[in-house]
Amino acid sequence: MKQQTIGFIGGGNMAHALIGGLVADGFSAQKIWVTDLDQNKLAELKEQFHVNTSADNQSTVAQCDIVVLAVKPQVLAGVAKDIAAAVQARKSLVVSIAAGVRAADLQRWLGEETAIVRCMPNTPALVKTGATALYANARAGKSQRESAESVMRAVGLTVWVDDENLLDAVTALSGSGPAYFFLFMEAMESAGRELGLDDRTARLLTQQTALGAAKIAMESAETPAELRRRVTSPGGTTEQAIRTFEEGGLRELARNAMLAAERRSVEMSNQFGAQ
């Protein structure tokens, strides 16, 4: 990928994950700029990744080919309106990673001509195992789409969606998804401790089991249901655990959780887009 200059507006959790993944992939830290209101966050990013930092959003936009909007959806309208003139002058490609803020609203705040790629990444980008869905507005040309995709592909898997509404589903699945697995890991670790394992052992075995299950699921042609059956010996231990999960309504719970996340994404679009 030709290394363009990338400016992150907002240097929080997700920017940290993306920057870490880009740098680990060999992207030059010299070509990365980050702005934040919080000086401590900037100092951390500078120390860890040796990126350029600034407290000034407009001047960062002025020198970057790609501007990644990585602030919370609640403050995005204000941030976008503030950098609109700089984006128009630089003709920057704007990549928004904000959950639940539609491209049309961004376009209205930034200028109707703005090329926008809306993405939904996730935090495993930090370890180059991210999953990102992308959607481009009509103003984003082929090379701009490719630029946005290259950034995200440097930190993991990318998929395009033609229907922007599908980003709400993606947010509920892979955007928020790492937290679902972490919650499950927390619960497994805690039960392991209750069963007598020390903290370190419970954590290590949980982590390695999660990694192993994910790897085998990725590398095998079998469905998760088939892989699960291979662990479940008739009359054995797994059978008891799975029965307990099924009786407790785990599938319905997972479904309801994702529907709630998707609903919130739509609600956020209506709430934060109306500014």
Ligand X SMILES: O=C(O)[C@@H]1CCC=N1
Residues at the interface with ligand X (CB under 6 A): 99, 171, 175-176
128 binds, among ligand NAI, ligand X, none (CB under 5 to 8 A by kind): none
CA distances from 112 to 115, 197, 212 (A): 9, 59, 47
Radius of gyration of the chain (CA): 21
> Is the Cβ–Cβ distance between 168 and 266 less than 8 Å?
yes
Stretch in the footprint of ligand NAI (CB under 6 A) among 19-27, 59-67, 91-99, 201-209: 91-99
Among 23, 86, 98, 140, binds ligand NAI (CB under 6 A): 98
Structure tokens belonging to residue 184 = 């499950």
CA distances from 192 to 33, 46, 203, 248 (A): 43, 38, 9, 19
Would you count residue 97 as binding ligand NAI (CB under 6 A)?
yes
11 binds, among ligand X, ligand NAI, none (CB under 5 to 8 A by kind): ligand NAI
Phi, psi of 42 (to 5 degrees): -65, -40
Q: Which helix (H) or strand (E) holds 48?
A: helix 39-49
Would you count residue 9 as binding ligand NAI (CB under 6 A)?
yes
CA distance linking residue 24 with residue 128, whole number of Å: 8
CA distance linking residue 192 with residue 205, whole number of Å: 9
38 binds, among ligand NAI, ligand X, none (CB under 5 to 8 A by kind): ligand NAI
* Closest distance to ligand NAI from the beta carbon of 162 (Å): 20
Stretch in the footprint of ligand NAI (CB under 6 A) among 11-19, 104-112, 159-167, 201-209: 11-19
Assign 177 to helix, strand or coil.
helix
Q: Which is nearer to ligand X, 53 or 132 (CB)?
A: 132
Among 35, 53, 92, 114, binds ligand NAI (CB under 6 A): 35
Stretch in the footprint of ligand NAI (CB under 6 A) among 118-126, 141-149, 235-243, 255-263: 118-126
Interacting residue ranges for ligand NAI, rule: CB under 6 A: 9-15, 35-38, 41, 57, 70-73, 75, 79, 97-99, 120-123, 175
